[in-house]
Structure 1
Amino acid sequence: MNIETRKNALVIILHEIYGVNDHMHYYRDMLVQEGYAVITPDLLHGQAFTYDQDEQAYHYFVNEIGFDQAAAEVKQMVLANRERYDRIFLMGFSVGATLAWMNSEIGVDGIIGFYGSRIRNYVDIVPKCPALLFFASHEKSFDVLALAERLQGKSNTTIEVIEGEHGFMNPFHPAYKSDESMTCIAVTKEFLHKELSIVGANQP
């Protein structure tokens, strides 16, 4: 797969409840260095929260934004960029992962989600594209293994349960786990590479 193939692929990174921050910039820069086009939309529309404002950030997202509104905004972004790119992928963290999952039926070419705990509210969704979901093994609010088992049987869906806590992918968060994060990044890159190789093989 050459660099031009990657340039024709867009990755839309969907942030956590904190908004667009150092965490999002970290993964944006990583994917840009890999040759992908990347967008990091601000779904909070100018609001931002620090990591010690968990409760405030969550209440703001739920009460002022909401999953349905944010998912609709992501859908419009995908549609607006569809003619410009051969492939569009969604990659989300926490609420962003849930938003990616909610949009897995609209014609994107793949989604990657990290610890999307609210996916448990949308288990009836059957993705129409390849979906790679990573969950933290330790979550306070729900049974991770039970959710993983329910999702594993869905078509196009791959589930990975990683030893760690919510936030293990974030190098700026106390829950960060370097080794596990690097492993997930490697799997993510391989996922993208595989999907792009499939389309590349089908092109003249």
Structure 2
Amino acid sequence: MFNKHIVLSDIFGRTGALEKFVDALPFSSIIVDPYNGKKMTFADEQQAYQYFTEHVGLEAYTEKLHQVLLNTNYNVQLIGFSVGASIIWRISDRHYEGIIQNAFLFYGSQIRHSLDIEPTFTVNVICPIKERHFDITAFKLAITDKNKVNIIQSHYLHGFMNECSTNFDLEGYRKFKQFIVKYSTDPNIISGI
């Protein structure tokens, strides 16, 4: 059993909406974001994406998660959204002495650039119904036979868990938040989603 959630934000970083999500979890949780806890005010996703790529990038955000995990001495469950999901995937082939119990990767579109990775812990990849920039069916086929990977097809668009996203979907948000809580106590419910 794990002791804490580590929640990795998307390109919007630490927002009131993400804090609300974390506060609603019945477990101790911390937020890791690309902007060191500073709340950013982006006009839209394009502005957030541009800022992230110019001022942070995947490598720096991945290294930040790596350092957090190296300094962790308790069992964790990881939850990542978009770029947060992608960086969890990027470290999923490393060994952290059994610290990471499992992970939820919501619409991590950059995963498609690292298909050679073989996770060392269970990752639940939650896919959007479609993606603008690539074929979601081909992506799922590319990771479907990997050990420790569960693919969960949602009926929602990329960003459905983020109130700051134009694709936010309250029904999907509630359904998957409840799923995380249930899975945290019983990992065998994966087939019930």
- Fold equivalence (TM over 0.5): yes
Cα 1:180–1:91 shift into 2, 3 Å: same
Judge conservation of contact 2:101–2:122 (CA < 8 Å) in 1.
Answer: yes
What is the alpha-carbon distance in structure 2 between the residues aligned to residue 172 and residue 65 of structure 1?
20
Task: Establish whether residue 176 from structure 1 lines up as the match of residue 164 from structure 2.
Answer: no
Aligned residue number for residue 12 of structure 2: 18
The alpha carbon displacement at 1:161 in A equals 1.6
Matches within 5 A, 1:120-199: 120-194=112-186
Between Structure 1 and Structure 2, whose CA radius of gyration is higher? 1
Q: Give me the identity figure in percent.
A: 25
Gaps of 5+ in 1: 196-204
Counterpart amino acid of residue 179 in structure 2? V
Cα 1:49–1:144 shift into 2, 3 Å: farther
What is the alpha-carbon distance in structure 2 between the residues aligned to residue 104 and residue 80 of structure 1?
17
Cα 1:68–1:121 shift into 2, 3 Å: same
Backbone CA RMSD of aligned residues: 1.8
Counterpart amino acid of residue 193 in structure 1? T
Judge conservation of contact 2:45–2:165 (CA < 8 Å) in 1.
Answer: no
Judge conservation of contact 1:97–1:115 (CA < 8 Å) in 2.
Answer: yes
Counterpart amino acid of residue 86 in structure 2? T
What is the alpha-carbon distance in structure 1 between the residues aligned to residue 67 and residue 129 of structure 2?
33
Aligned residue number for residue 95 of structure 1: 83
What is the alpha-carbon distance in structure 1 between the residues aligned to residue 63 and residue 104 of structure 2?
18
What is the TM-score of this pair, normalised by structure 1?
Answer: 0.81
What is the alpha-carbon distance in structure 1 between the residues aligned to residue 105 and residue 21 of structure 2?
13
What is the TM-score of this pair, normalised by structure 2?
Answer: 0.86
Structure 1 runs, 4 residues or longer, greater than 6 Å off: none
Aligned positions, number: 182
